[in-house]
Structure 1
Amino acid sequence: MKDRDGDLELGLPAAFADWLTRREPADAVARVVDLADQVRARLTGTRPVVVHDLGSGTGAMGRWLAPRLPGPQHWVLHDGDASLLARAAADPPPAAADGSPVTVETRRGDLTRLTATELAEADLITASALLDMLTAEEVGRVAAACAGRPALFTLSVVGHVRLDPADPLDVEVASAFDDHQRRTVRGRRLLGPDAVADTAAAFARQGAVVTSRSSPWRLGPADAGLLGEWFSGWTDAAQEQRPQLAGPLTGYVRRRRADLAAGRLSVLVDHRDLLALPTVNS
């Protein structure tokens, strides 16, 4: 399934929301618990923790992280799509780790135009599967808006996919997909697999200490439905980027579909989670 693209304020097809729902269990397994533990250690206080979640989608990040954090929490969900925000509000995070209540509000708008003033109340800023859809300029603005606050960004693609069993066309398809992730959309050149490095550098310029960890999807026969949907989006994007692959892809897709049907196909789709912590003086 291809990521959303274009203006981050525009509405998205319902199929995208359904894709987010189907991928939520795999995302939950992949996210790095160690980084969440580091966040929890920083959030000590008596007042409710305020979390701003950027590109909240259907609210999966809150459902994963809120139960790992102690004490009352208030989540502010930012997205450009009203239907996604409605779905997120209808399925809010459960109680905090100690049973404290978690509340939610939604804010619709362009994530790339948020300012430090709009995020001033945040004790923590989060995002998931967002950075690779931004440009270098937009990542710089996001880092500046988050300056001085802990930020946890999870599940950004890094351009590493490994299928088992291997096929001679794997490398070319992966390369075409990575180029598609870096494409220019309405004048915006997306960072794609370069997003984590650019974001780490942007936060470092703001004086933050940045840690990143691998957070791969590992899909196999037990995940056949999600694996098949991911594979269709992966190959569709590769062909869109390089139309000359249409011929070779016909046989490739047939072989891979046979592997999937026989229960012998598995894939590692690597991502990275990034935690930016402000230094004491920032």
Structure 2
Amino acid sequence: MTGFSADWLALREPFDRSARAASAAAFDLPALALRLRRGDPVLGVLDLACGTGANLRALAPRLGGVQRWLLVDHDPLLLAALPGALAAWAEAEGFLFRREAEGLGIEGPGWRAEVQPLRIDLVQDLAALPLAQVGLVTASALLDLVSADWLDDLLARACHAGQALLFALTVDGRLDWTPRVTGDDRLARLFAAHQRRDKGFGAALGGAAVDLAADRLRALGCELKLAPSDWVIDGREGAQAQAMLAAMLAGIAAAVRAQDPGAAALATDWEARRLRLLARTRLRVGHRELLATLR
């Protein structure tokens, strides 16, 4: 699986938070948590490709009550960074944070979470996921990286075990630049093609991931809710947005060069022209949220 650095995850998290806040009204997470507990005081949550815990930070306060999080990633560097990232978040928010023998504990107003990191290779060892221990399976920014076969396997396992599924921040292929410059459309097509290359799971779904997942889940008998959660990155808002835009430009240009070496000069020129426009550029990157529950 393609690796992601802790620096990149930290850079994108404020934009993830804003995007998810815009979609929050579509999902009544306290009601979902109550339903999934089925009388048990503790809600088990399995977070796939957890990185440094951004999905927990977004969801735990909204779910409420007592929670037990199993945070799964294959990357030992990200798992090593996880306690520090959660401790810093807890301190900034005024939450209680503690290290325990088998994991971590975090407590905020109206909720408490026990946290256990797990190193599991999602590509090779999907069968090792402790699905029986949880009521909710979740992931953020994962589905567009995986293959149709891998996704089918995960969905079948989770639905068979009776879990609800919440997939956040899956890209849907939309890139909307303001102002526009020559080359936007061609680079967008090449970037979309690169997103469908193998990221370790087989040919990636890219922008088709949400629609395919929705079709598969309906066939498995699930009820679905979908909501947009677009990144809006506006360089007029200052240094943080401009740093994110610069990272996006570098990533898109590098992907285009890898996808079509013949477009390398175009990608380099396009990146340079867009960098000169950074302070007045606005980019919308399409994402969607998907919640599936068994009928």
Q: How would you bin the TM-score normalised by the shorter chain?
A: 0.7 to 0.9
1:102 aligns with: 113
Structure 2: how far apart are the matches of 1:125 and 1:89? Answer: 21
The verdict on how the C-alpha distance between 1:265 and 1:150 changes in structure 2, with shifts beyond 3 A counting, is: same
Assess if the C-alpha contact under 8 Å between 2:233 and 2:284 holds in 1.
Answer: yes
**Residue of structure 2 aligned with 1:204, choices 207, 210, 218:** 218
TM-fit CA distance, 1:271: 0.7
The verdict on how the C-alpha distance between 1:90 and 1:77 changes in structure 2, with shifts beyond 3 A counting, is: same
1:139 aligns with: 151
Structure 2: how far apart are the matches of 1:59 and 1:243? Answer: 36
Structure 1 position 238 matched with structure 2 position 238: no
Assess if the C-alpha contact under 8 Å between 2:44 and 2:67 holds in 1.
Answer: yes
TM-fit CA distance, 1:96: 5.9
* Superposed counterparts of 1:152-191, under 5 Å: 152-184=166-198, 188-191=202-205
3-state SS, counterpart of residue 111 of structure 2: coil
The verdict on how the C-alpha distance between 1:185 and 1:46 changes in structure 2, with shifts beyond 3 A counting, is: closer
TM-fit CA distance, 1:38: 2.4
1:269 aligns with: 285
Could you tell me the TM-score, scaled by structure 1's length?
A: 0.87
* Superposed counterparts of 1:243-262, under 5 Å: 243-260=261-278
3-state SS, counterpart of residue 28 of structure 2: helix
Structure 1: how far apart are the matches of 2:108 and 2:190? Answer: 43
Structure 1: how far apart are the matches of 2:151 and 2:267? Answer: 34
User: When you count helix as a share of all residues, which structure comes out higher?
Assistant: 2
Structure 2: how far apart are the matches of 1:91 and 1:187? Answer: 27
Structure 1 position 88 matched with structure 2 position 82: yes
Assess if the C-alpha contact under 8 Å between 1:114 and 1:145 holds in 2.
Answer: no
3-state SS, counterpart of residue 43 of structure 1: helix
1:27 aligns with: 16
Question: Share of identical aligned residues, percent?
Answer: 35
Structure 2: how far apart are the matches of 1:203 and 1:115? Answer: 19
Amino acid at match of 1:108: R
Assess if the C-alpha contact under 8 Å between 1:53 and 1:126 holds in 2.
Answer: yes
TM-fit CA distance, 1:199: 1.2
The verdict on how the C-alpha distance between 1:110 and 1:205 changes in structure 2, with shifts beyond 3 A counting, is: farther
Structure 1: how far apart are the matches of 2:128 and 2:226? Answer: 23
Q: Kindly report the root-mean-square deviation, in angstroms, between the aligned alpha carbons of the 2 structures.
A: 2.0
2:33 aligns with: 43
1:227 aligns with: 245
Assess if the C-alpha contact under 8 Å between 1:89 and 1:104 holds in 2.
Answer: no
3-state SS, counterpart of residue 58 of structure 1: coil
2:99 aligns with: none
Structure 2: how far apart are the matches of 1:117 and 1:62? Answer: 18
Larger CA deviation: 95-104 vs 155-164: 95-104
Structure 2: how far apart are the matches of 1:272 and 1:146? Answer: 20
The verdict on how the C-alpha distance between 1:187 and 1:139 changes in structure 2, with shifts beyond 3 A counting, is: closer
Structure 1: how far apart are the matches of 2:82 and 2:201? Answer: 30
Could you tell me the TM-score, scaled by structure 2's length?
A: 0.84
1:69 aligns with: 63
TM-fit CA distance, 1:116: 9.0
What is the number of equivalent residue pairs in this alignment?
265
Larger CA deviation: 54-63 vs 184-193: 184-193
TM-fit CA distance, 1:196: 0.9
Larger CA deviation: 118-127 vs 98-107: 98-107
